[in-house]
Structure 1
Amino acid sequence: MKKIFMRLAMVFMCMAVFIAGMAQLPVSSAAQQQKATAAMATDMGAPVVDQAKLLSKEQAEKLTAKIKEIEERHQVKIGIYTLQNLPNGMTAGKLANNTLDKYYANGRNGSIVFLIAMGSRDWYISTDNTMRQRIVDGVGIDGLKGMFLEDLSDGNYAESFNNFAAGVDKYLTYYEEEGEPYDPSKEFSILAAVVAVLLALFIGWAFREYLISCMSNVAPAVEASAYLKQGSFTLTQSHDNFLYTTVVRETKSKNNDSSSSSSDSSHGGGGGKF
């Protein structure tokens, strides 16, 4: 009888240890989640927050140093934020605006956030109203897009992010020197275009004259009758017959741009797919 009681006691003891261990699992899991969330919150606000793991450690460090130098020189705040998937019900533009407001809103001369969502292949640039005066919606954001989008689509993430940072530096430098936002169209010179057109016409005319001079058996005809062999054609009568007219109408397709905007009274910017 004593042995039976001993065995029952051992069974109850093992069950108690097992239940206690199972009870600790959610606590441990919750603790790990809280730790990960705290680490993520600590990273937010840094020049580079690469949650999607697109950059190596060395690439992230070099990009961070470059952005900090640009921030110091222009007294702005710049953030590059990558993540795998957007939260449910959240657009890239809205998340970029929220991220800027919460973590990057202390730039004296403006703040800008470049967000990448790998799962949906979204990119978005969010600016506050101060930065919006320096990098304007439309031509400003489109100019930046032209600097980084091709590398971003090709998977050259380090090159793409460095080009973005260089573009922001270029736009801010222009604003500080000229007192107005940079507009790529202003680089177009009408005088240079006129000179190029005149030069092309002259080269074309000179080449045409050279070819004509090489054609020894060809001479211009003074009258159209010179091209007709005498006696080979006789016109006896002529009249016109109208047969029918066919009209084809096609609906003009709308131009669907892949870019989008979440601009409001306190944010500028724009984005799209890559």
Structure 2
Amino acid sequence: MKKLMIHLALAVVCIAMVLGSAAPVMAAAQQAQVEQKAARPAKPETVGPVVDQAKILTQAQVGKLTEKIKAVEEKHQVKIGIYIMQSLPAGMVAGKMANNVLDKYYANGQNGSIVLLLAMGSRDWYISTDNTMRQRIVDGVGIDGLKEMFLEDLSDGNYAESFGAFVDGVDKYLAYYEETGEPYDPAEEFSWVAAVVAVLVALVFGWGFREYLISCMSNVAPAAEASAYLKQGSFQLAQSHDNYLYTTVTRVAKSKDNDSSSSSSDSSHGGGGGKF
């Protein structure tokens, strides 16, 4: 009996020693799993291409706009978001909020991601791009050119038309980049040759019309001397002197353009925005 008890005690001691030596290994493995999980890039939360918290669109408009966005996303392998808020959080600027929305909901587009954010209360708009999209729709001329496509409708309250124009503009810019390998610049559409031709045509037409009007004026003829334009004896200057009264100087502050783009770009985001 005593031998049996001794054997059981030895077995318990052996099991405890094995478990004690395995515990650090298991703890290290669990720690490695936690670190590996933390090192993985966070996946964006899932929302639709159109988020309308301010309820400015009908369900039909949201559905139609969503279909348009998904078609452009599939065509160019990108992610596009339109995020409409009633108001910005306290202390948050539109650019920073747009960057946060892109990172949280629309990140990791294969060929880039872009978000149009609206804050209806403060009437702010902002376009945020990641660095991949930033190469296709560049800061400055790219964002300003895209703005011209949708901002007028946005200011007039034609929200569905404005968002549709924004998506069409993104499609146009991306198609141009894929075809040429260069970002689209609206200035490249301006033709100096066409402008010069238009000016010459206007000058010729204006000169011809002027000559026609002169030819119709039968009672007018050029005078050989300047005195011919003065009726003799009709004017006589008897006395002349100048009296200085005072000088008034008015200064007006230079107005600021509320529609000019502002930037909250950083090392991982591009874009620009303003008021509507």
TM-score when normalising by structure 1: 0.76
* 8 Å Cα contact 1:55/1:157 also seen in 2: yes
Distance 1:82 1:233 in 2: 74
- 3-state SS in 2 of match to 1:134: coil
Q: 1:164 corresponds to which letter in structure 2?
A: F
Distance 2:92 2:268 in 1: 18
Q: Say if 2:179 is the partner of 1:158.
A: no
| Superposition pairs of residues 80-99 of structure 1, within 5 angstroms | 80-99=82-101
Listed one character per residue, the Cα deviations across residues 104-143 of structure 1 (whole Å, up to 9, x for unaligned) are 1111211101111222222111001111111111121111
Shift of the 255–89 alpha-carbon distance from structure 1 to 2, 3 Å rule, reads closer
Which of 47, 50, 53 in structure 1 is aligned with 2:52?
50
Identity fraction in percent: 73
**Residue equivalent to 1:100:** 102
Shift of 1:54: 2.1
Shift of 1:232: 5.2
Distance 1:101 1:203 in 2: 57
Shift of the 240–158 alpha-carbon distance from structure 1 to 2, 3 Å rule, reads same
Shift of the 159–43 alpha-carbon distance from structure 1 to 2, 3 Å rule, reads farther
Q: Which runs of 5 or more residues in structure 2 are unaligned?
A: 1-43
Greater C-alpha radius of gyration = 2
| Superposition pairs of residues 182-197 of structure 1, within 5 angstroms | 182-197=184-199
Listed one character per residue, the Cα deviations across residues 62-88 of structure 1 (whole Å, up to 9, x for unaligned) are 111111111111111111111222222
Distance 2:53 2:125 in 1: 15
* 8 Å Cα contact 2:54/2:85 also seen in 1: yes
Higher mean C-alpha deviation, range 249-258 or range 144-153: 249-258
- 3-state SS in 1 of match to 2:171: helix
**Residue equivalent to 1:34:** none
| Superposition pairs of residues 60-209 of structure 1, within 5 angstroms | 60-209=62-211
* 8 Å Cα contact 2:263/2:272 also seen in 1: yes
Shift of the 240–196 alpha-carbon distance from structure 1 to 2, 3 Å rule, reads farther
Q: 1:131 corresponds to which letter in structure 2?
A: M
RMSD between aligned alpha carbons?
Answer: 2.4
Which of 249, 264, 267 in structure 1 is aligned with 2:266?
264
- Deviating beyond 6 angstroms after TM superposition, the runs of 4 or more aligned structure 1 residues are 238-242
Q: 1:59 corresponds to which letter in structure 2?
A: Q
Q: 2:89 corresponds to which letter in structure 1?
A: P
Shift of 1:246: 4.4
Distance 1:160 1:235 in 2: 68
**Residue equivalent to 2:19:** none
* 8 Å Cα contact 1:115/1:125 also seen in 2: yes
Distance 1:71 1:214 in 2: 64
Distance 2:232 2:53 in 1: 86
Shift of 1:269: 0.8
